[in-house]
């Protein structure tokens, strides 16, 4: 049986640097970086103008993202997801994604950046 990839995901408030650190973690772990912002912008251009829009469209892409990420992990490639894992429900989604295919995962908590 081939080794599966490892999933990295993040918890941290807006402005904590999740997008920046996700690029670093992807480079350090030879991982595919998947950004929720990029996917939403590509699939629903100019349709997200309010927080409720974000919630609606983020929910719509989840089944496709899940299947895609699991396929990438199943072939042994690490994945870094620049998606929020700030709530219990969001973290449960990531954990179920990993549990379904029995892959490793790592949640990284980022505290807010402090100004000098």
Q: Does the structure show a pLDDT above 70 at 111?
A: yes
Average pLDDT on 25-53 reads 94
Say how many C-beta atoms besides its own lie within 10 A of residue 80's C-beta: 26
Average pLDDT on 36-62 reads 93
What are the sequence ranges of the domains in the chain? 6-104
What is the SS3 assignment for 32? strand
116 pLDDT band (50/70/90 cuts)? very low
114 pLDDT band (50/70/90 cuts)? very low
Contact 7, 79 (CB under 8 A): yes
Q: Which CATH architecture has domain 6-104?
A: 3-Layer(aba) Sandwich (3.40)
Residue 115: per-residue pLDDT: 40
Tokens at 22, concatenated: 């996700």
- Cα gap 47→105, rounded to integer Å: 32
H or E stretch covering 10: strand 6-11
- pLDDT tens by residue, 78-97: 999 999 898 899 999 999 99
């Amino acid at each position: 049986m081939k080794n599966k990839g490892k999933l990295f995901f993040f918890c941290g408030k807006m402005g904590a640097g999740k997008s920046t650190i996700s690029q670093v973690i992807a480079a350090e772990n030879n991982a595919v970086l998947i950004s929720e912002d990029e996917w939403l912008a590509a699939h629903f251009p100019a349709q997200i103008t309010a927080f409720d829009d974000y919630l609606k469209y983020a929910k719509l892409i989840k089944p496709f993202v899940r299947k895609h990420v699991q396929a990438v992990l199943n072939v042994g490639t690490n994945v870094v997801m620049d998606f929020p894992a700030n709530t219990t429900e969001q973290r449960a989604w990531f954990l179920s994604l990993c549990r379904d295919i029995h892959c490793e995962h790592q949640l990284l908590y980022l505290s807010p950046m402090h100004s000098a």
